[in-house]
Amino acid sequence: MKEDEVLSKIGAHVREERGEEDAPAILDGEAAERIASRLAPAKVIPFRRRVMTYGAPLALAAAVLLFVMTRHGENGPQLPGYAVTATGEQAMRGETAKSTRLHLAKGQAGRFEIVARPDTAVAEAKVVAYAFAMIDGEPTALDAKVDVSKDGAVRITGESRLIGAASELRIVVGAPEAIGKYEGALDRAKSGSSDGSVRVLSIAIDRD
Amino acid sequence: MDDKEIVERALSGDAVATRRLVDRVLPVVSARIARLLSRRKSRAGRDARQEVEDIAQEVFASLFEDGGRVLRAWDPARGLSLPSFCGLVAEREACSILRSGRRSPWSADPTEEADLEKGLGVEPGFEARVETREQLELLVDRVREALSPLGLEMFERLIVREESVESVCKDTKMSADAVYAWKSRIGKIVREIVRKENLVA
């Protein structure tokens, strides 16, 4: 079969596939609302896989730091406490335990993962998250993928090298109306202060 | 609010526009994902509707990420509607997710032509073996994954709709040379995939 024939066959195949597109709507308005609500600005992307996927591994986490709600904010829904686990490249390969501190091997071009799970699902509240690397006390937007699940769990994954010289990562979690826009998240990260509607989670970084 | 304005507002963080955009393109996006899913066995215990929604969420995430790079690549002046464009993105993302279980980043530029040339320049002929439906589906999926947003549009026009180069030039305002280059590039991608997937006769 010559190239033109293959291309022609490909075109016919796609046209045939498309013939089924008049089917009734597969996803309803509620699904559209869920999808739209998770498309927050910046790099907040929802979990493709439900957070349940991560439930079992997280239950095995060796160390868990619990952020307990102590105060109530005036804006947005009240958030539960968050438990955080941080995983460096070695731990992601199953070689070391997960920790609340992120351990990065020097010079290693690996990946990291941070998961923050709410003590209870945030129910109907729309939650967004921003991740920052702290360098000399100043927050810088972290170049990493940020996922937020329907239940309010946050997962951040990225390349370790992009953390740069940061000594700490801070994750700002809360309802958009409580955090405000990016600048609001930046201010929160800098101050490090949490309240009932916005959580600032801190992950210290260790290096070899 | 027209589609272009919806896109601009949605990418600037306007929640109302974002919802309108999702409402506008979700029917096409979900239909194409569902069709691709139906070709494959759904993972055990997974609700098909939930699976469509999960992948649709990924599609929208890919449209919005990196400042909306992919969504900004849509240009109504080129003649493809917003739902059609997002449908192409949905097919590409769904293929990638279903094949590898993870998202694959968009190539920043239309395929690595240098690599293609390197692999193909010395081949004297091209004789593909694409006889079964499975082989064809595999080939179509790989082609989609290899193309950039503009490449997908060119694929749609030149291969799927079988539009003439003249017609594409007229609608897109691209030069004939540029359109011919795309046609050639898509052909090279197909040849490379045929070779890699061992579909050579």
B64-103: pLDDT as tens digits: 987 888 898 898 888 889 999 999 999 888 888 887 655 5
A2: in domain: no
Q: What residue ranges define each of the domains in chain B, with the CATH number in brackets?
A: 1-106 (1.10.1740), 107-201 (1.10.10)
Using a CB-CB distance cutoff of 8 angstroms, which residues of chain A are in contact with residue B194? Answer: 6
| A28-53 tens-digit pLDDT | 888 888 888 887 544 334 444 333 33
Mapped onto helix, strand or coil, the DSSP state of residue B115 is helix
Mean pLDDT value of segment A150-171: 84
Beta sheet of A138-141, edge-to-edge order: A102-104, A198-207, A168-174, A128-135, A138-141
Please state the three-class secondary structure of B131-185 as a single string.
CCHHHHHHHHHHHHHHCCHHHHHHHHHHHHCCCCHHHHHHHHCCCHHHHHHHHHH
Partner residue opposite B22 with nearest CB, options A10, A35, A49:
A35
How is residue B19 written in tokens?
Answer: 């919802």
Q: Min CA distance, B191 vs chain A (Å)?
A: 7
pLDDT of res. B115: 44
Predicted ipTM?
0.74
| B35-53 tens-digit pLDDT | 888 876 554 455 778 888 8
pLDDT of res. B144: 87
Using a CB-CB distance cutoff of 8 angstroms, which residues of chain B are in contact with residue A11? Answer: 159-162
Please indicate whether residue A57 or residue A179 has the higher confidence score (pLDDT): A179
Q: How far apart are CA B68 and CA A40, in angstroms?
A: 12
Residue A181 has pLDDT above 70, yes or no: yes
pLDDT of res. B24: 92
Bridge partners of residue A89, in order along the sequence: none
- Could you tell me the end-to-end alpha-carbon distance of chain B, in angstroms, rounded to an integer? 52
Q: How far apart are CA B144 and CA B140, in angstroms?
A: 6
Q: How far apart are CA B126 and CA A119, in angstroms?
A: 60
A167: in domain: yes
Q: Min CA distance, A101 vs chain B (Å)?
A: 26
Q: Taking a C-beta distance cutoff of 8 angstroms, is the pair B117, B159 a contact?
A: no
Residue A8 has pLDDT above 80, yes or no: yes
Number of structural domains chain A divides into: 1
Mapped onto helix, strand or coil, the DSSP state of residue A65 is strand
Beta sheet of A44-46, edge-to-edge order: A44-46, A145-148, A154-159, A111-118, A82-87, A65-67
A107: in domain: yes
Residue B7 has pLDDT above 90, yes or no: yes
| B150-179 tens-digit pLDDT | 888 899 999 999 999 999 998 888 889 889
Are B30 and A2 in contact (CB < 8 Å)? no
Partner residue opposite A1 with nearest CB, options B28, B61, B129:
B129
Partner residue opposite B56 with nearest CB, options A5, A27, A40:
A27
pLDDT band at B108 (very low <50, low <70, confident <90, very high): very low
Sign of torsion, CA B76 A46 A157 B101? negative
Domain holding A73, by residue range, is 40-207
How is residue A200 written in tokens?
Answer: 């600032």
A13: in domain: no
A21: in domain: no
A16: in domain: no
Partner residue opposite A13 with nearest CB, options B21, B23, B140:
B140
pLDDT of res. B60: 93
Q: Does A34 touch chain B (CB under 8 A)?
A: yes
Mapped onto helix, strand or coil, the DSSP state of residue A164 is coil
Q: Min CA distance, A208 vs chain B (Å)?
A: 31
Are B53 and A15 in contact (CB < 8 Å)? no
pLDDT, chain B, mean: 80
Q: How far apart are CA B15 and CA A31, in angstroms?
A: 15
Are A21 and B137 in contact (CB < 8 Å)? no
pLDDT of res. B165: 92
Are B136 and A10 in contact (CB < 8 Å)? yes
